[in-house]
Structures are given as C-alpha cells and as structure tokens.
Amino acid sequence: MKRSLSAEWLKLRHSRIGLVLAALPAVSVLIGCANFALNRDVLTNGWYSLWTQVSLFYGEFFLPILIAIVCAYLCRLEHLNGNWNLVLSAPVPVAGIFLAKWITAALLILIAQALFMALYGAAGLLLGLPGPFPAETAGWALRGWCAGLTVGALQLGLSLRIRSFAVPVGFALAAVLAGLGLYVAKLGLFFPHSLLTIGMRVLSQEPPDPRQETLFWTMNAVYALLFAAWSVSGLKVRDAGTA
C-alpha cells in the first residue's frame, strides 16, 4: 500500500492538477462574492448569507466536477500505452491499487476544501462582515468532504473503466443536474451527488433532525462501500485480460 501511494503522488509531482484544486474554489468564491455584493440589501445574515452564495456554486457545481477531474487524472497514465499491464503485474492486490487512488483523491479533495474555507474566510473579512467567523461552517465543509469520498469512489470506478478523460467528467455534470432535481424533490438523501449538497448545507443551513442525520451518514457509508466494491471488481476483470 505504501508503495502504491508513493507511486500515485510521484505521478502528480509535475502535473497541473494543483491548478484545478486552486482554480475551482477560487472561481466559486469570486462568483459567490460578486452575487453577495450585488444583493447585499437582501442578504442580511452576514457570514451565513455569504456561505449560501459561495457554497452554492462550489458545493453544487464545481466540487463534483473537481472530484471527477481528479479521479480521471489519477487513472489517465494507466490508460496510456497499455500501462495497466504494468500496474496489474506488480505484486500489489487490485484492492490496494484502488485504495491508493481513493486515498490520494481524498487528500486532494481535502486540500481543495481547506482552500475553499480559507478563501471564504478571507472574503468575509474583505467584505467587512460583522461578527466572528462561524466555526460550524468548517464542520459543513468536512461533511462535504465525506460525501466527496462517496462521489470519488463512483468517479474512480468510471475512470478505471473508461479510457476517455471527458466521459467521466461529463457524467459528473449530468449527475449534478440530476442530484439537484432529486434534492428539490426531497429525495436527495438517496442520490450520491445530492449528498454533497446536503453535507455542505448548500441550500439550507437548518440543522437536520436526528433521523435525517443518521440517514445521511448511512447512505454515505452504503454508497461508498458499494462503489468501492464495484471499482475493485472492474480492476479484477481488467486483470483477467482487458488491460
């Protein structure tokens, strides 16, 4: 496992994935801040109103796309020149290969979340928002990260199977729209991409009741395990001769 993780980070050393991790949170905060500034007479709840604006663009649209890009990039090199044969011939179980990519994706998503929170805090100070920084928003970002792990397991499964870089990203965009519709229909807890919206309190900052909270974590765990098993099974099939 340690070697697999080292290999994943080695592939990222000279990549431009850092630009994606920085650009998408930054663009989200800039758009959200512009919208907040233009509607400040209506958005009167300080830090929480700013959160509704920046997290709407980030958690609902940019974060799922970011996750898809990260996962597709982590599988990109293996799809080139038959490199899957080299990877799968190494003395590492296929589950270890998936876990190394999943852990790497998790750390990259966590970096993006941390940057988003830093930009949100800086934006609030620059806008002169009254009161202290709302500490609970860090918990919302962490919940979004946990939901991001679930979405990441799904996106990795797609990227492990599909050679195209664009197709898994396009799937994520379609899933975002479907997730938004299901959230509005109050079925978001049963769709993985909607869990990002719910976790980050994008559309509602009201605390969930205990039943909803339990269901949120349960569905995350169930989906994460199912998608991880599906991804590993795809590697086993590829190991049988489709690499």
At 205 the pLDDT is: 77
Q: Which domain holds residue 96?
A: 2-242
| The total number of structural domains that make up the chain | 1
CA angle at 73 for the pair 32 and 98, rounded to the nearest 5°: 115
CA proximity to 119, closest of 26, 56, 36, 27: 26
Residue 240: the pLDDT is: 42
How confident is the model at residue 75, as a pLDDT?
86
- What are the pLDDT tens digits along the chain (243 aa)? 676 777 777 778 778 889 999 999 999 999 999 999 999 888 888 999 999 999 998 998 999 999 999 999 998 877 776 667 667 677 778 888 889 999 999 999 999 999 999 999 999 999 999 999 999 999 999 999 999 999 999 999 999 888 888 999 999 999 999 999 998 898 989 999 999 999 999 887 777 788 989 999 999 999 999 999 999 887 777 544 445
pTM of the model: 0.92
Neighbour-count burial for 4-41, b at 16+ CB within 10 Å, e otherwise: bbebbeebeeeeeeeebbeebbeebbebbbebbeeeee
pLDDT given at position 241: 45
Residue 106 is predicted with a pLDDT of 96
Paired tokens of 172: 């994520």
